[in-house]
């Protein structure tokens, strides 16, 4: 074997050992969970599993810190191969002359190796090994990468590791925004990390920082003025608490993805404003034992979340339920889904904005909804049903649209928590019979807003129907609200809706502008209701303060390409018939289906003095006067007249008028409805108190005769209310007038 080959065989194992002596990954430090915005603003952080603040390394070391750390730790860093032989010589001379170790010769590269081997002994052999590994690291990484490894893993006092965590912990901002004085202080800390603690030689820390600043001036890195100004900056008093501006969002992300660095779409300014709004209402609500709140704001243009306030965490000690993130929490929807039903019915041509919806007592399988005011209007235009959030007309609308069809629409709109069948929800679906989340509610309204603002086919609803829905919602009147809320004086148009669940357990409000959708939930996460806690009184004020904090925006453009003008009856809102006396032109969705034309205007015949309804059986045809009359069915008319003083009921029939057949049955039984079960009440003494039956007649002067089963029960005039005391069991109630017209219902008493 030649001498050369022998040398190769001897060298080869050492070469292989050198080649593979460095681990692939030097550091395995558990990360702190961090939440930052796209511009690098830290919104929140959680300490790592090992109890240290350790942030995900940045892409590069900030320039000021890089110059500071090189000047302080390793002035020939950019040129040496991992070992500085000049520094070694200097350290040997100083240590021999002093006969003790007073100077080291570790380069930044060697310190990276030492940081990666925290349990290694501090000995000469270990030092030699560090030197070898440092040269290997220089072959693997660039100088900038080595400097970044050092800056990201060096200790900065206490449980703070890495420049990024240190910058936030001591100065409350990112490392690349630090001043020369701040960068210099952090540069000297890894060498003496205990100096940062108050009362532990902070004068020495100040001396070391200023020494480094003088060195930077001497090297021409900073000028004399910069140096003196930097020396005047004080040291931080104590470590700062980490930002925690979106606690529940970070916790939600941690639950899904573990501890790591998260970048979010939050707008730091808007998040601060939303946090401030929530805090401003907390004290008053807390005094009424209402402790929890959720606020979500999303951008219409991008679809991203710009503000996320999950709950009242941190506003009071020991606050119940504050740890629960209320944005993904499923709660009763209240009235928040009504606008979606309105839009869907417009889209299918089942209604027009002004179509009259019946608002009279309603019962279906013993489900008897009532309006917030517990009164009825008889008939209400569809858009006013949404504006006033009326319950009974909304139930009638859902009955006509169909619960299965509405369920399908809601699921297409992203309400994943509404996952039972139609029989489970029934007609109560529109009044809070299903559970939704604040996130899904805001998302549904966002989909509609993007359909208009971005012309994005994001929903099964048409643009025209959505625009008409937002127009209705922009009229801020609600029956239960205070007069101060009837006009929103911010100078911007907002489509908004409130909701209150049964038992005042949940208060909702959602608002839409051209550029933002905001949603608010107020209540108690444990489900406890509070008297007076409604969407208007609790959630709406928060919503409007949030909207005020958002940038002003314009309103949605009318989608004329998806709309057509249509002549409608001024009173009924239906397509105008040839006899409707007053016609309006309105823009409606451009679809084939339309409601039937107006059925409420009728041609009637009167006597010459217009005092009686007549027909050929009682009055000469040549003397009859023909007139167009707006006529509602009896029950609708009975309630409608109380709220519309301009409504004129039909004149009474002529005494000799012998039939009702040409005018239809003038009687309508309002209560009880056919097939219901009536539960009677008892007084404190135990006496059965009965219940009141009610009917309406088209002729306000008519006398009605009441029969319970086959027994005469009484007669009424004008207000047709009668107190009955039926025995438990099944009964038939019959009502007749003097002309022979009659109505009957069957009901059960318990």
The pLDDT score that the predictor gives to residue 660 is: 46
Q: Residue 307, exposed/middle/buried by CB under 10 A (0-12, 13-18, 19+)?
A: buried
Region 136-154: what's the mean pLDDT? 90
Separation of alpha carbons 73 and 192, rounded Å:
12
Q: Say which range, 220-234, 359-373, 568-582, has the weakest mean pLDDT.
A: 359-373
Q: How confident is the model at residue 489 (pLDDT cuts 50, 70, 90)?
A: very low
Which position has the higher pLDDT, 17 or 408? Answer: 408
Residue 84 is classified by DSSP as -
What would you measure as the largest C-alpha separation in the chain, in angstroms? 142
Residues 6+ apart with CB under 8 A from 145: none
pLDDT (0 to 100) of residue 176: 92
What pTM does this model have? 0.85
Flag whether pLDDT at 480 surpasses 70.
no
User: Residue 7 class from Cβ within 10 Å (0-12 exposed, 13-18 middle, 19+ buried)?
Assistant: exposed
Which range among 90-104, 246-260, 717-731 has the greatest average pLDDT? Answer: 246-260
Residue 470 has pLDDT above 80, yes or no: yes
What pLDDT, on a 0 to 100 scale, did the predictor assign at position 104? 55
Question: What whole-number distance in Å separates Cα of residue 179 and Cα of residue 235?
Answer: 12
Among 80-89, 434-443, 548-557, top mean pLDDT goes to 434-443
List, as one string, the DSSP characters of 514-557: SSEEEEEEEE-TT----TT--IIIIIHHHHHHHHHHSPP--PPP
Least confident segment among 361-365, 410-414, 589-593: 361-365
pLDDT of res. 491: 58
DSSP string for residues in 260-289: SEEEE---HHHHHHHHHHHHHHHHHHHHTT
Q: Which two tokens stand for residue 377?
A: 């209007």
Residue-wise pLDDT tens digits, 513-523:
999 999 999 99
Q: Cα 571 vs. chain centroid, distance in angstroms?
A: 38
Torsion 68-71-76-81 (CA) sign: negative
Give the pLDDT band (50/70/90) at residue 485.
very low
- Per-residue pLDDT band for 501 (boundaries 50, 70, 90) equals very high
Q: Which residues of 310-320 are buried (b: 16+ CB within 10 A; e: fewer)?
A: bbbbebeeebe
CB atoms within 10 A of CB 210: 17
- What is the per-residue pLDDT for 481? 40
Q: Tokens 């909207």 correspond to what residue?
A: 547
Q: What is the pLDDT of residue 102?
A: 41
Strand segments, DSSP code E, in 320-385 are 331-332, 356-359, 378-381
Residue 169 and residue 190: Cα distance in Å, rounded?
15
Residue linked to tokens 């409420």: 600
SS3 content of the chain, % helix, strand, coil (to 5): 35, 20, 45
Residue 622 contacts by C-beta under 8 Å, 6 or more apart in sequence? none
- pLDDT value of residue 200: 66
Q: Which two tokens stand for residue 184?
A: 């210099």
Contact 115, 153 (CB under 8 A): yes
pLDDT number for residue 93: 59
* Nearest CA among 454, 384, 376, 451 for reference residue 413: 451
Q: How far apart are CA 390 and CA 12, in angstroms?
A: 88
pLDDT, mean of residues 97-120: 71
Cα–Cα distance between 329 and 345 in angstroms, integer? 29
Q: Which domains does the chain have, with CATH numbers?
A: 25-232 (1.10.3810.10), 331-549 (3.40.710.10), 562-589 (no CATH), 667-749 (2.60.40.10)
Contact (Cβ atoms closer than 8 angstroms) between residue 307 and residue 296: yes
Res 112: pLDDT:
87
pLDDT of 511 strictly over 90: yes
Express each pLDDT in 540-562 by its tens digit. 999 999 999 999 889 999 999 99
Nearest to 86 by CA among 105, 111, 112, 113: 105
Q: Contacts by 190-195 with C-beta closer than 8 Å and gap 24+?
A: 190/73, 190/111, 190/154, 190/155, 190/156, 191/72, 191/73, 193/155, 193/156, 193/157, 193/158, 194/157, 195/157
What is the CB neighbour count within 10 angstroms for residue 400?
Answer: 12
What residues have CB less than 8 Å from 544, skipping those under 6 apart? 488, 490, 494, 496, 511
Please state the three-class secondary structure of 595-640 as a single string. Answer: CCCCCCEEEEEECCCCCCECCCCCCCHHHCEEEEEECCCHHHHHHH
| Amino acid 92: pLDDT | 52
Apex CA 163: angle with CA 162 and CA 165, to 5°? 70
Quickly count helices (H) and strands (E) in the chain.
21, 26
From CA 404, how far away is CA 563, in angstroms rounded? 28
- Residue range 107-117, pLDDT digits in tens: 888 888 888 88
Most confident of 91-100, 434-443, 650-659, 719-728: 434-443
Q: Is the pLDDT of residue 661 over 90?
A: no
Convert the pLDDT of each residue in 181-202 to its tens digit: 999 999 999 888 777 775 566 8
Does residue 629 surpass a pLDDT of 50?
yes
């Amino acid at each position: 074997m030649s001498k050369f080959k022998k040398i190769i065989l001897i060298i080869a194992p050492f070469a292989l050992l050198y080649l593979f002596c460095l681990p692939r990954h030097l550091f395995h430090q558990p990360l702190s969970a961090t939440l930052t915005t796209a511009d690098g603003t830290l919104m929140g952080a959680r300490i790592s599993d090992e109890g240290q603040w350790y942030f995900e390394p940045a892409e590069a070391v900030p320039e000021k810190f890089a110059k500071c750390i090189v000047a302080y730790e390793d002035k020939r860093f950019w040129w040496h191969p991992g070992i500085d032989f000049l520094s070694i010589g200097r350290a040997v001379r100083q240590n021999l002359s002093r006969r003790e170790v007073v100077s080291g010769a570790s380069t930044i590269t060697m310190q990276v190796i030492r940081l990666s081997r925290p349990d290694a002994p501090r000995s000469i052999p270990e030092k030699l090994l560090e030197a070898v590994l440092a040269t290997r690291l220089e072959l693997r990484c660039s100088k900038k990468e080595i400097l970044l490894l050092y800056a990201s893993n060096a200790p900065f006092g206490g449980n703070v590791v890495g420049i990024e965590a240190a910058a936030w912990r001591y100065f409350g901002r990112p490392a690349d925004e630090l001043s020369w004085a701040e960068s210099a202080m952090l540069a000297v800390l890894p060498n003496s990390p205990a100096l940062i603690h108050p009362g532990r030689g902070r004068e020495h820390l100040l001396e070391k920082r200023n020494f480094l600043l003088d060195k930077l001036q001497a090297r021409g890195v900073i000028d004399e003025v910069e140096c003196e100004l930097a020396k005047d900056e004080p040291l931080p008093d104590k470590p700062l608490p980490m930002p925690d501006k979106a606690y529940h969002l970070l916790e939600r992300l941690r639950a899904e993805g573990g501890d790591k660095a998260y970048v979010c779409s939050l707008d730091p300014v808007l998040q601060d404003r939303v946090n401030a709004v929530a805090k401003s209402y907390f004290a008053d609500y807390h005094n009424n034992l209402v402790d929890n709140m959720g606020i979500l704001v999303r951008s219409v243009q991008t679809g991203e979340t710009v503000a996320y306030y999950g709950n009242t965490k941190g506003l009071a000690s020991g606050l119940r339920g504050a740890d629960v993130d209320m944005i993904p929490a499923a709660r009763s929807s209240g009235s928040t889904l009504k606008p979606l039903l309105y839009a869907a019915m417009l889209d299918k041509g089942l209604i027009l904005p002004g179509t009259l919806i019946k608002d009279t007592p309603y019962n279906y399988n013993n489900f008897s909804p009532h309006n917030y005011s517990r009164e009825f209007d008889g008939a209400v235009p569809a858009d006013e049903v949404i504006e006033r959030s009326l319950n009974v007309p909304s139930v009638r609308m859902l009955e006509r649209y169909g619960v299965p069809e509405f369920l399908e629409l809601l699921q297409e709109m992203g309400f994943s928590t509404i996952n039972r069948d139609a029989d489970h929800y029934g007609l109560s679906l529109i009044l809070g019979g299903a559970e939704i989340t604040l996130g899904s509610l805001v998302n549904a309204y966002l989909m509609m807003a993007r359909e208009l603002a971005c012309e994005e086919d994001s929903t099964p609803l048409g643009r025209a129907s959505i625009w008409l829905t937002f127009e209705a919602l922009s009229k801020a009147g609600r029956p239960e609200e205070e007069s101060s809320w009837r006009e929103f004086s911010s100078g911007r148009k907002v489509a908004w809706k409130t909701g209150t669940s049964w038992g005042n357990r949940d208060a909702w409000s959602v608002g839409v502008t051209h550029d933002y959708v905001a949603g608010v939930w107020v209540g108690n996460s444990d489900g406890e209701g509070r008297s007076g806690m409604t969407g208007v009184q609790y959630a709406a004020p928060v919503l409007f303060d949030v909207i005020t904090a958002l940038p002003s925006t314009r309103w949605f453009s009318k989608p004329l390409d998806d709309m057509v003008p249509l002549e409608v009856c001024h009173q009924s809102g239906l397509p105008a018939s040839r006899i409707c006396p007053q016609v309006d032109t309105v823009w409606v969705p451009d679809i084939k289906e339309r409601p039937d034309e107006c059925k409420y205007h009728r041609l009637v015949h009167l006597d010459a003095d217009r005092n009686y309804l007549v027909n050929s059986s009682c009055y000469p045809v040549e003397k009859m006067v023909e007139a167009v009359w707006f006529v509602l069915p009896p029950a609708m008319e009975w309630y409608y007249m109380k709220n519309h003083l301009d409504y004129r009921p039909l004149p009474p029939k002529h005494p000799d008028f012998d039939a009702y057949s040409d005018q239809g049955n003038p009687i309508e039984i309002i209560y009880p409805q056919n097939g219901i079960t009536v539960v009677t009440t008892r007084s404190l003494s135990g006496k059965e108190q009965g219940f009141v039956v009610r009917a309406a007649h088209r002729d306000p002067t008519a006398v009605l005769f009441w029969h319970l089963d086959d027994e005469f029960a009484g007669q009424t005039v004008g207000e047709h209310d009668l107190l009955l005391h039926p025995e438990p069991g099944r009964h038939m109630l019959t009502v007749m007038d003097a002309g022979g017209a009659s109505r009957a219902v069957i009901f059960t008493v318990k």
